[in-house]
Structure 1
């Protein structure tokens, strides 16, 4: 075991000098983001090697590489300190996971949907407190605003529930975003709560935001995301799932037993999910969000503040981002995802210029445990790490 760890550390030390793992230039500045260029402080070789060793040690404790199907990446100041790709994207075709193989990112898709909406807000094309009815004709619930969709305070019910309980949807027919809107506008789907009064995480909110993107941009969501986000950021391996076009070519999803899961009647809905991407592409997105040209300072304040305090606790939600508001440490800003056997975690710590991305296409909850890696970069975070969990270079 010690020999394997030493070999891994030796490899990582060499990788530290590998420019393909470096999203920054010699002076520590971001590249490949065009107009969203941001300067970061350069990392020393000693710092780089120490952090790589600690991450590798912790990662090897967390992940069983014989069982893990997915991608994992940690970056600091635009530099990839650690990345790993394991298992199969499509086992039946022996198509392995690799750095340029897109995986379904589940609800991390909400972060990207929100980003396009918020950039439209910055551009004056959408008002955060505009009524949804301004963009979606005849929207039934007059009091719901764009902001309420973004922060899950609309009071709407999850479409996965109301099509089962209220309208008895024929599962042989795949439901679409427009179908969801039509059902809401029929007046038959009641609200869970009065708009603006409480938080309730709900995929319906983001399926409607996708329709607003279509209305404002004049493009189908799939094309809008490509033109307005993926291409400008160089996210060449990211796209929105189209069932007829992609269902037998994309990475598949698996139970923990490695049994492949089938697509179902909910797999046409987008905005809340259905974006395929890679850890490296998501890093490109994350680095761009540091730029005041990507998000204005004003909109950043709106994104990263909590909106829901009716219940006590550290958990909260901003605009398209989850929060852990700790008294003793900087707020954790992140988003998790789960769809079929796909699980995902995107952690973006602006105070530490730290990005942690975990994507899996075989069912596991270990993707969500990757938040413990933040403790390797800031001891103030209330995340438990035993003394044996660091110092891998000495093992």
Structure 2
């Protein structure tokens, strides 16, 4: 074959071999720059040691290998952050908050954290308990007078042991609800008016249910005299400097909030359940969630006695490592190791918040395009402690 005939093929080979490899995310922020742009300590004077350069370099290398190994395709539209003692080891962002406007996701783009919202709702309830405005074993109907179930306590709502019916199920019944935009107060009124049966006797077993946290949001409103959105800002977000975090308001934010997409990039439209709060509808960033995580190590945040009760299991009817504390999921191994976390899903939004208390490590992943990738970041835990989790390598 003449050289002139093979020249086009040589050109093609050279073109692809010299092409720059695309990064796993659109933006990867080196740890050194991150430390300069974000304070290491929270406003609550959290006392954690400074992380050594050698430790950072070792862990960053392992995290980068994890990302390359487990995220072969660039299919996480959102943010991913790993931090030790409040210092960010790894942070990446990519994708679009709105595909129509081409708005890119960066470190200040608030994304729907879905059920990770429960962790934050529970925290405000616990702060009210710490202030003596509420008791953990107090009956819900002593706060919400029309709450139709007699023997359900605040603790049962927090731990998903109430037996309450799932609002996302019974409101699809046209005989119960007309399909218009639903509110938390509507859920309470519907349960009272229609005498909807409990799924099981209160405190008999664990049963994950969004209604629990929709009711806790009403408890917050009743005791603070504020709308839940305002109460979360005043009690939690502002004090911790979570400046990019807010509770979604359909009328106010439906045009400006980050959009939600299916795995094939088709837009998820809003529906009649999109104005419920407490169980979901908090929009936040990995950095803001890190500020929250840092605060949990401070005695100024919650009393040590109450903090201890958060990270213990309350449901042991079934054998296994999985359990639930006060607003947080738990893995409890026979070896004594414990991992606290919460995952979330709503429409195309998926999220994961992992807090390794013994090792003071936070792992946070948020996505506004449906992906199971955030759920898998827990596999990084063994890189920071002796967690009996299958190696990702």
For residue 256 of structure 1, what is the aligned residue in structure 2? 263
2:89 corresponds to 1:81? yes
Counterpart CA distance in 1 for 2:149 and 2:174 is 17
Q: Which moved more, 1:36-45 or 1:60-69?
A: 60-69
2:111 corresponds to 1:103? yes
Matched-pair contact (CA < 8 Å) for 1:12–1:49: no
Note the alpha carbon deviations across 1:324-382, whole angstroms, 9 max, x for none.
1111252110000000000000001110000000000000111100000111111x211
For residue 137 of structure 2, what is the aligned residue in structure 1? 129
Alignment CA distance shift 1:79-1:22 (3 Å): farther
Q: Unpaired segments of 5 or more residues in structure 1?
A: 25-29, 390-395
Q: Which of residues 58, 61, 66 in structure 1 aligns to 2:69? A: 61
Q: Which of residues 20, 26, 31 in structure 1 aligns to 2:36? A: 20
Counterpart CA distance in 1 for 2:343 and 2:367 is 12
SS in 2 for 1:346: strand
Matched-pair contact (CA < 8 Å) for 2:47–2:298: no
Q: Unpaired segments of 5 or more residues in structure 2?
A: 1-16
Note the alpha carbon deviations across 1:294-323, whole angstroms, 9 max, x for none.
111111121111000111111100000000
Note the alpha carbon deviations across 1:85-114, whole angstroms, 9 max, x for none.
010111111001100000000000000000
SS in 1 for 2:291: helix
Runs (4+) of structure 1 moved beyond 6 Å? none
Q: Which of residues 332, 345, 355 in structure 1 aligns to 2:352? A: 345
For residue 251 of structure 2, what is the aligned residue in structure 1? 244
SS in 1 for 2:79: strand
SS in 1 for 2:109: coil
Matched-pair contact (CA < 8 Å) for 1:177–1:207: yes
Q: Which moved more, 1:322-331 or 1:113-122?
A: 322-331
| TM-score computed with the length of structure 1 as normaliser | 0.90
Q: Which of residues 25, 35, 46 in structure 2 aligns to 1:38? A: 46
What is the Cα deviation at residue 16 of structure 1? 2.9
Counterpart CA distance in 1 for 2:34 and 2:139 is 50
What is the Cα deviation at residue 39 of structure 1? 1.2
Alignment CA distance shift 1:13-1:271 (3 Å): closer
Counterpart CA distance in 2 for 1:115 and 1:53 is 34
Alignment CA distance shift 1:376-1:118 (3 Å): same
What is the Cα deviation at residue 134 of structure 1? 1.1
SS in 1 for 2:369: coil
What do you get for the CA RMSD once the two structures are aligned? 2.0
Aligned length: 373
Matched-pair contact (CA < 8 Å) for 1:12–1:53: no
SS in 2 for 1:356: strand
Note the alpha carbon deviations across 1:171-208, whole angstroms, 9 max, x for none.
2x011100000011124210000001110000000000
